[in-house]
Amino acid sequence: MSEGRLRKLIIGDAQADRVVPPSGFTAHLTLFASGAMAFLAVFALALSLASGRLADRWAEELARAATLRINAPLEQRDAQTRQALTILNQTPGVASARALSSEEQAALLAPWFGSSLPIDRLPVPQLIEVIEDEQGYDSTGLRLRLQAEVPGAVLDDHTRWRAPLVDAARALRRLGAVSILLIAGAMAAMVTLAANAALAANAQVIEVLRLVGALDSYIAHAFVRRFTLRALGGSAAGVALGMIGVWLMPEASNEGGFLTGLGFQGWGWLLPLLIPLLAAAVAFMATTRAANKRLGDLT
Amino acid sequence: MIELENVGYNYGGGELLTNVSVKLAPGSFHFLTGPSGAGKTTLLKLCYGALTPTSGRVRAFNMDVQGLDRDQMAHLRRRVGVVHQDCRFLDHLPVIENIALPLIVSGKDLGGEEANLRELLNWVGLSSRADALPPELSGGERQRAALARSVILSPDVIIADEPTGNVDWEMSQRLLQLLVELNRMGKTILVATHDMALIRAAKNQVQARVLRISSKQLHLAGADL
Is residue A174 located within the same domain as residue A287?
yes
SS (H, E, C) A25-55: HHHHHHHHHHHHHHHHHHHHHHHHHHHHHHH
| pLDDT of B13 strictly over 70 | yes
Is residue A187 located within the same domain as residue A276?
yes
Residue B54 lies in a domain: yes
Residues 103-132 of B with CB under 8 A from A: 104-106, 110
Is residue A224 located within the same domain as residue A284?
yes
A294 vs chain B: nearest CA distance in angstroms?
A: 13
Residue B150 lies in a domain: yes
Higher pLDDT, A65 or B186: B186
B93–A19 C-beta distance less than 8 A: yes
Sign of the alpha-carbon dihedral angle for A164, A166, A169, A170: negative
Query: Is residue A213 left, alpha or beta, with left meaning phi > 0 and alpha meaning psi from -120 to 50?
Result: left
Is residue A91 located within the same domain as residue A116?
yes
Interface contact B201, partner A, CB < 8 A: no
Provide the β-strand partners of residue B208. Answer: B29
For residue B127, the domain's CATH number is: 3.40.50.300
**ipTM strictly over 0.85?**
no
A205–B105 C-beta distance less than 8 A: no
Among partner residues A204, A211, A295, which is closest to B77 by beta-carbon distance? A211
Residue B128 lies in a domain: yes
B101 vs chain A: nearest CA distance in angstroms?
A: 7
The residue of chain B with its CA nearest to that of A222 is B105
Evaluate whether B106 touches A213 at the Cβ level (below 8 Å): yes
Residue A286 lies in a domain: yes
Is residue A173 located within the same domain as residue A77?
no
Q: Nearest to residue B162, comparing CAs of B77, B75, B87?
A: B87
Give B191-217 pLDDT, tens digit per residue. Answer: 999 888 888 888 888 888 899 988 888
Interface contact B78, partner A, CB < 8 A: yes
Position B224 scores a pLDDT of 47
Residue B225 lies in a domain: no
Interface contact B182, partner A, CB < 8 A: no
Cα distance between residue B102 and residue B78, in whole Å: 7
Give B118-157 pLDDT, tens digit per residue. Answer: 888 888 888 898 899 999 998 888 988 998 998 888 889 9
Number of domains in chain A: 2
Domain span at A280: 3-59+169-297
A189 vs chain B: nearest CA distance in angstroms?
A: 27
Q: Which residues of A touch B110 (CB under 8 A)?
A: 15
Is residue A207 located within the same domain as residue A176?
yes
| pLDDT of A241 strictly over 90 | yes
Give A25-65 pLDDT, tens digit per residue. Answer: 777 888 999 999 999 999 899 888 888 888 887 777 766 77
Among partner residues A22, A209, A299, which is closest to B105 by beta-carbon distance? A209
A19–B74 C-beta distance less than 8 A: no
Cα distance between residue A15 and residue A67, in whole Å: 74
Domain span at B168: 2-220
Cα distance between residue B143 and residue B171, in whole Å: 10
Q: Which residues of A touch B42 (CB under 8 A)?
A: none
Those residues of chain A whose CB sits closer than 8 Å to some CB in chain B are 15-16, 18-19, 21-22, 204-205, 207-218, 295-296, 299
Residues A234-262, mean pLDDT to the nearest whole number: 77
Residue A64 lies in a domain: no
Sheet order of strands, B217-220 included: B80-83, B157-161, B188-192, B29-33, B208-214, B217-220
Position B135 scores a pLDDT of 92
3-state secondary structure (DSSP) of residue B158: strand
A213–B77 C-beta distance less than 8 A: yes
- The average confidence (pLDDT) of chain A is 82
Residue A146 lies in a domain: yes
Interface contact B93, partner A, CB < 8 A: yes
Among partner residues A212, A217, A299, which is closest to B102 by beta-carbon distance? A212
A207–B105 C-beta distance less than 8 A: no
The residue of chain A with its CA nearest to that of B71 is A215
Position A89 scores a pLDDT of 87
Is residue A177 located within the same domain as residue A270?
yes
Is residue A206 located within the same domain as residue A280?
yes
Q: Which residues of B touch A198 (CB under 8 A)?
A: none
Is residue A239 located within the same domain as residue A108?
no
Is residue A177 located within the same domain as residue A31?
yes
Residues B169-177, mean pLDDT to the nearest whole number: 86
Sign of the alpha-carbon dihedral angle for B52, B56, B60, B66: positive
Is residue A221 located within the same domain as residue A77?
no
Domain termination residue (choose one: A125, A151, A177): A151
Q: Which residues of B touch A203 (CB under 8 A)?
A: none
Cα distance between residue A52 and residue A50, in whole Å: 5
Residue A159 lies in a domain: no
Residue A217 lies in a domain: yes
Residue A161 lies in a domain: no
Among partner residues B76, B82, B90, which is closest to A205 by beta-carbon distance? B90
The residue of chain B with its CA nearest to that of A18 is B93
Q: Which residues of A touch B51 (CB under 8 A)?
A: 299
Position A162 scores a pLDDT of 73
3-state secondary structure (DSSP) of residue B218: strand
Number of domains in chain B: 1
The residue of chain A with its CA nearest to that of B87 is A208
Higher pLDDT, A6 or A175: A175
Interface contact B88, partner A, CB < 8 A: yes
Is residue A177 located within the same domain as residue A286?
yes
